[in-house]
Amino acid sequence: MKAPANRNQDLVVTTQNVQRAHHDEVMTPNYAPMEMIPERGEGALLWDTDGNEYLDFAAGIAVSALGHAHPALCKVLSDQANKFWHVSNLFTNKPAIELAQKLCRHTFAERVFFANSGAEANEAAFKLARRYAHDNYSAEKSEIIAFENGFHGRTFFTVSVGGQAKYSDGFGPKPGDITHLPFNDVEALKSQISDKTCAVVLEPVQGEGGVNPANATFLSEARELCNQHDALLIFDEVQTGVGRTGQLYTYQHFDVTPDILSSAKGLGGGFPIGAMLTTKRIADSLAVGTHGSTFGGNPIGCAVAGTLLDIVSAPEFLSAVESKGTDFVAALSKLNQKFDVFSEVRGLGLLIGCELQGPLKDRAGDVVQACAKHGVLILQAGSNVIRLAPPLILSQQQVEEGVQRLQRAIEGLLVEPQKDGRG
Ligand SMILES: *Cc1c(COP(=O)(O)O)cnc(C)c1O
């Protein structure tokens, strides 16, 4: 007997009754979402389908830079949606050109390639670095040096450049000539880099890998070593960019300029867009036909990102991010004086990590769940670091309220009987 075309007719879900359990019935099992189901957001606040309120310090994984439903972004999105949504790169794209002009005005960049995600921006960056070395030096100059615990996305090339083998193992042969070194280790870089190296890629603050800031010496030595060996220095600023750390891009905190920079996450404030920024000389290796994307430079995404960039690049906006970050770290350190559960509170601007110790050691997942129950959404970065990446527009008062909710969540975990096999 022929199987019916739709064998899941009994699995009809209406938007009124979506439950967490429905996720597992229709979605591939690579995600494990939280119990609460978001319904609506405004600024740094989010409400679930049961009407509970949350302070959203996860911000869609450091994406919702201006929070939820920002009026200026809603307006530009609907204005562009009423003109046209998509025409492809077969046409001159006004919103994309305007966004590229802004990115060039505010950074070292002279040329921009648009993609739809961080991984795609990095994919373009790595392909360009290989192609540039191939065009200008030799086919043998193909080594990419990356760092342990680095994260660059989930396409097969980018995940292989990323520094956690557990994410890239088990998918067959990997792209070759990628070397991983300990992060912030100048000597290791010195002894590995050679004229065969085409690029050194790093996150100025490792996000997924545990909120580990690069130190200034490491960055300037990396720049110097790249110069000596004609290798390109690539900064993956997918997480650290667009005001997240208190400068428009994190390299601007330092006396170091990369050759290629990737941006995504916060760039569209929740609308998918990625960008690769570089110089004219390097961009010349992306001749017509060498690379491309159907959706890259999507007019809605570019229009939204252009408005977002106008807001975020204002010096007052960036200095407010920096001072809210300082307040945040102070409030977290005060909390820690009471409970002694963090071995370190670190980060830059509004990208903050707390390394757990004592009874909370390796329990970042439990802290994230407990926080949600107490009305604050946070992230983890590995099993032993909780990560805060709130919307950049949150208020001083929301910083304090959020840390109070975090404190109640931690108090709850500390009085809870220890689970088997823990502590
Ligand atoms: C999130 C992230 C990526 C991947 O971005 P996607 O949009 O998920 O492809 C790459 N690099 C860094 C540093 C990131 O934080």
In a domain, 240, yes or no: yes
Q: Are 110 and 81 found together in one domain?
A: yes
Nearest CA to ligand 1 atom 5: 118
82 plus 217 within the same structural domain: yes
Domain range for 25 is: 20-63+315-415
Please report whether residue 422 resides in a domain.
Answer: no
Is residue 265 located within the same domain as residue 291? yes
Digit-coded pLDDT (tens) for 365-418:
999 999 999 999 999 999 999 999 999 999 999 999 999 999 999 999 999 876
119 lines ligand 1 (CB under 6 A): yes
Rg of the chain (C-alpha set): 22
- 231 & 334 share domain: no
Q: Is residue 263 part of a domain?
A: yes
- Do 83 and 130 lie in a common domain? yes
In this structure, the answer to whether residues 129 and 202 fall within a common structural domain is yes
Domain endpoint, select from 277, 312, 347: 312
pTM: 0.95
**Model confidence over 134-144: pLDDT tens digits?**
999 999 999 99
Residue 51 is part of a domain; what is its CATH number? 3.90.1150.10
Q: Give the per-residue pLDDT at 416.
A: 85
In a shared domain, residues 247 and 164 = yes
Give the count of domains, the chain.
Answer: 2
- Select from 164, 201, 208, 251 the residue to mutate for testing ligand 1; criterion: most ligand atoms less than 8 Å from CB: 208
In a domain, 107, yes or no: yes
Domain boundary among 283, 312, 341: 312
Atom of ligand 1 nearest to the CA of 240: 13
Q: Does one domain contain both 197 and 324? A: no
Q: Kindly state whether residues 229 and 368 are assigned to the same domain.
A: no
By most ligand atoms within 8 Å of CB, the mutation choice from 265, 267, 293 for ligand 1 is 265
Q: How far is the CA of 62 from the centre of ligand 1 (A)?
A: 10
Is 274 domain-assigned?
yes
Phi, psi (rounded to 5 degrees) for 344: -160, 140
Residue ranges for the chain with pLDDT beneath 70: 1-16, 418-423
Which ligand 1 atom is at minimum distance from the Cα of 264? 7
Please tell me the distance between residue 118's alpha carbon and the centre of ligand 1 in angstroms: 4
Residue 277 sits in the same domain as residue 389: no
For residues 304 and 319, state if they share a domain.
no
**CATH at residue 121:** 3.40.640.10
Asked if residue 8 is part of any domain, the answer here is no
Question: How far is the centre of ligand 1, averaged over its atoms, from the C-alpha of 150 (Å)?
Answer: 10
Which residue lies with its CA nearest to atom 15 of ligand 1? 239
Please indicate, yes or no, if residue 24 is contained in any of the structural domains: yes
pLDDT of residue 378: 98
Distance CA 209, CA 189 (A): 19
C-alpha atoms less than 13 angstroms from C-alpha of 124 in its C-beta half-sphere: 29
Residue 12 confidence (pLDDT): 55
On whether residue 2 sits in a domain, the answer given is no
pLDDT at 15: 53
From the CA of 182, how far away is ligand 1's center (Å)?
Answer: 20
**Ligand 1 binding pocket includes 123 (Cβ within 6 Å):** no
Q: Are residues 149 and 290 in the same domain?
A: yes
Domain termination site, one of 312, 342, 359: 312
DSSP letter assigned to residue 359:
G
Q: How far apart are CA 89 and CA 294, in angstroms?
A: 7
Q: Where are the beta strands (DSSP E) in 219-292?
A: 232-236, 260-263, 274-278
